[in-house]
Structure 1
């Protein structure tokens, strides 16, 4: 049923991504002549998934009426520049916060892709004689002209018979769930769901009834530790500083960096860890801080604490400053993107400091299968970086409690509090085990009809 209209004229939902992985979220709703794409994410992790980014989009980009984004993380927004370059000419709807964050994240993604292609060609570790980026920074800048900001709770018609509304989801600034009304039916996409007691973000809005739920399942098979993540962070910082080491914290530039700085500022101010140099080596994270300050009504952090979070950090802007950090040595703390070690400046720091036992690598977010972060969690003692093998002898610590995703219990409690069950719930945006665990729990505990859809599967709504 790929790309074909439903012969019965009923609205349909097709899973163009996020159906068998925790990345690449793309969900197509089609009714009569209107096609709405909910999220336009980039695949990350395993090579078989990343290769989907290079394949032609499953439907013609110029046949899509509109795109609506749940939030700015690249696994939900990162394919937009390629879609626009390849012919999509409609609007990309998103909240103001998401639009502003995409304005820094998408060009950065294009720039990093270009730099990686140049490096691969220079050092000869690509199978292609002339490696090409998925898209360029220029492609990304051009795609930003398609963005249209939409307020939370403001219904928007996108074409004949389809209307959507954005609903606060917590998670990161601007993040939303999406309610789509189509052909007399309703579909509720959770997006990435935030946590009820996140230190930075406000909790997600309670769930309202819809005919169909499409729910994320990132942590569908596990719960976050009950131990205070701040205490875990304090322990590792004190341990590493005592032996004169470097604490490397790979952190997503948007969302997780703010959380880490929040905890570090509290630890340093209270004297629970020494006041060692903290370096924020992520121009995007620095820019994102200013965006967060423009939307104080969307998060919990008071202005004084927010200023303190960034005052304590040495902000690293240019490449030369970044390179000097690799010569400095400890004790110090470096925060740098990316959070799953898939690219960015953190890889240079990992190559410089990962081989020394007195240092530590602190993972503070979800590590998708096939990423370097996932390999570290699995006990890898070497990582492939820039075409070479880097030995890892540094201590590896994971702090799951800093995740901005609802865990299995939080997600289940949020879903089960709805006034009336849906006709069916689809578990998406999770590894197979996580998605199936949530499916089984919804069916066994609540009696819901629930499924884990297949990649490219198409269903009637």
Structure 2
């Protein structure tokens, strides 16, 4: 059996793991590369596999770096099943349609304003392409073994992180392959603790935060201080946020602080078409998270959910202090860029970064103290105050990742460290050796391993 590392190898984005056995050809995750230009360009390059022979894709969860390449793959001729838990597929549908819409809009804007090197600029895929991929979705229950054929079976085990997220266990050629996906936190505010595998012959472990522990931050105090500062300055608190789980966590905390009277009741907005869709997923699949129906209802009622793009400009022009949660979390696209383009230059603006910022993203540049960032072909001066809070991350830290493996009784034959930048992956490799005595390797992009 061959394992092809087609993404998330020595980087966090673009998760794709191709499995080629004597009987089957599968893909685990099908993500989009994000971040630095060198990575983004990979989305446009030839994918080294025979698409028409690919039978099925197994999705660990619905984030763009795990599902965002699906429409492109379908456009290239993929005709098989796309498996995932029901909430994962609902999230993936929302994210893919949003991604396609953003790409169409950005291509149109680039052509209109002439800042693209390509003439004409084209989207990687269209809304119609995304709809074709969504039509191939097939939901499966969490925790149950599913027989794919007489030689292969699989199951999904919840792993926290975001709603619907799971690790994937795949039995193929008498070997048990376990893909961690993105491991959530043991003490997450909204998600349940990850379920742990009890065995693995071939183990794939993410390492997003493999080199660090999350700071012990008082998140409620951070939010309180920034809201009070924003009120005092009569400004805007902008919280760029991933639409799935992160936005809901922030909404929950701000609603709770407002209900308690810890912060004043100022206008609060969720400006994310995806985020609005995800709220409905939270309402429908309450067994996947810790909030009850009444909490979700009250939380939603405390925010104005912006629907139309014209409302975005109304919020920007609105006088008085306000809080805006808008996508995307790493500032790679979406409505948040409109806010930043207009408000970053104001010293009454506060920006709170609340998640992982991949190398080469605007979020990473702000985090590292950039004095200006490029938005829609123009450089915008940064006079706003920039803050970060990793305690809201949906990713488990080094300790959470190590804990996820602690029920595996026998040492796996092979352990691959994936989904992490080089430093984080290498530190996770060393910790696994120290804690479990297992030898792990860090595959390179496009490397092929035989097992």
Contact 1:196 1:410 in 2 (8 A): yes
Contact 2:425 2:442 in 1 (8 A): yes
Contact 1:427 1:435 in 2 (8 A): yes
Q: CA deviation at 1:234?
A: 1.3
- The separation in 2 between residues aligned to 1:421 and 1:334, in whole angstroms, is 47
- The separation in 2 between residues aligned to 1:159 and 1:436, in whole angstroms, is 37
- The separation in 2 between residues aligned to 1:185 and 1:214, in whole angstroms, is 13
* Structure 1 unaligned spans of 5+: 1-10
Is residue 2:445 matched to residue 1:444? no
4+ runs of 1 displaced by more than 3 Å?
157-160
**In structure 2, what is the equivalent of residue 251 of structure 1?**
241
Q: CA deviation at 1:202?
A: 0.7
In the TM superposition, what whole-angstrom CA distance separates every residue of 1:349-407 from its partner, at most 9, and x where no partner exists? 00111111121011011000000000001100101000000011101010100001100
- The separation in 2 between residues aligned to 1:113 and 1:295, in whole angstroms, is 29
**In structure 1, what is the equivalent of residue 254 of structure 2?**
264
Q: CA deviation at 1:161?
A: 2.4
* SS of aligned partner of 1:396: strand
- The separation in 2 between residues aligned to 1:412 and 1:246, in whole angstroms, is 39
**In structure 1, what is the equivalent of residue 289 of structure 2?**
299
Superposed CA RMSD in Å reads 1.1
Contact 1:33 1:160 in 2 (8 A): no
Contact 2:162 2:244 in 1 (8 A): yes
**In structure 2, what is the equivalent of residue 290 of structure 1?**
280
Alignment of 1:16-27 (within 5 A): 16-27=6-17
- The separation in 2 between residues aligned to 1:208 and 1:381, in whole angstroms, is 49
Is residue 2:170 matched to residue 1:180? yes
Q: CA deviation at 1:417?
A: 4.0
Is residue 2:229 matched to residue 1:229? no
* Cα 1:21/1:329, change in 2 over 3 Å: farther
Aligned mate of 2:92, from 93, 98, 102? 102
In the TM superposition, what whole-angstrom CA distance separates every residue of 1:400-457 from its partner, at most 9, and x where no partner exists? 0000110011111222343333222111001111111100111123211111111111
- The separation in 2 between residues aligned to 1:418 and 1:262, in whole angstroms, is 35
TM-score, normalising length from structure 1?
0.96
Is residue 2:450 matched to residue 1:460? yes
Name the count of aligned residue pairs. Answer: 451
* SS of aligned partner of 2:209: coil
- The separation in 1 between residues aligned to 2:84 and 2:48, in whole angstroms, is 22
Contact 1:253 1:338 in 2 (8 A): yes
In the TM superposition, what whole-angstrom CA distance separates every residue of 1:211-249 from its partner, at most 9, and x where no partner exists? 111011000011111122122111111112111110000
- The separation in 1 between residues aligned to 2:383 and 2:129, in whole angstroms, is 39
- The separation in 2 between residues aligned to 1:116 and 1:155, in whole angstroms, is 42
Contact 1:34 1:160 in 2 (8 A): no
Is residue 2:388 matched to residue 1:416? no
TM-score, normalising length from structure 2?
0.98
Contact 1:34 1:159 in 2 (8 A): no
